[in-house]
Amino acid sequence: MNSTRKIALVTGATRGIGLETCRQLAGAGVFVLLAGRNMTRAREAADALRAEGLDVEAVLLDVTDAAHVAAVAALVEARFGRLDILVNNAGVLLDGPGRKPSEQTLACWRETFDTNVFAMIALTQAFLPLLRAAPAARIVNVSSQLGSFGLHTDPRSSIYDLKLPAYDASKSVVNAWTVHLAHELRDTPVKVNAIHPGYVQTDMTGGTGELHVSDGARSSVQMALLADDGPTGTFTHLGEPLPW
Q: What is the pLDDT of residues 98-135, one digit of tens each?
A: 899 999 999 999 999 999 999 999 999 999 999 999 99
What gap in Å lies between CA 219 and CA 133, rounded to an integer? 25
Catalytic residue list contains 167: yes
The whole domain housing 175 covers 7-241
In a domain, 1, yes or no: no
Catalytic residue list contains 100: no
* pLDDT value at 201 more than 80: no
Helices (H) and strands (E) in the chain, counts: 9, 8
DSSP annotation of 119 reads: I
In a domain, 65, yes or no: yes
In a domain, 2, yes or no: no
Q: What is the share, in percent, of the chain residues with pLDDT greater than 90?
A: 91
What gap in Å lies between CA 27 and CA 38, rounded to an integer? 24
Among candidate residues 233, 244, 238, the one with its CA nearest the CA of residue 219: 238
In a domain, 195, yes or no: yes
> 70: domain CATH number?
3.40.50.720
Catalytic residue among 6, 100, 160, 171: 171
Catalytic residue among 6, 100, 160, 167: 167
Cβ neighbours, 10 Å, residue 27: 15
* pLDDT value at 2 more than 60: no
Q: How many domains does the chain have?
A: 1
In a domain, 27, yes or no: yes
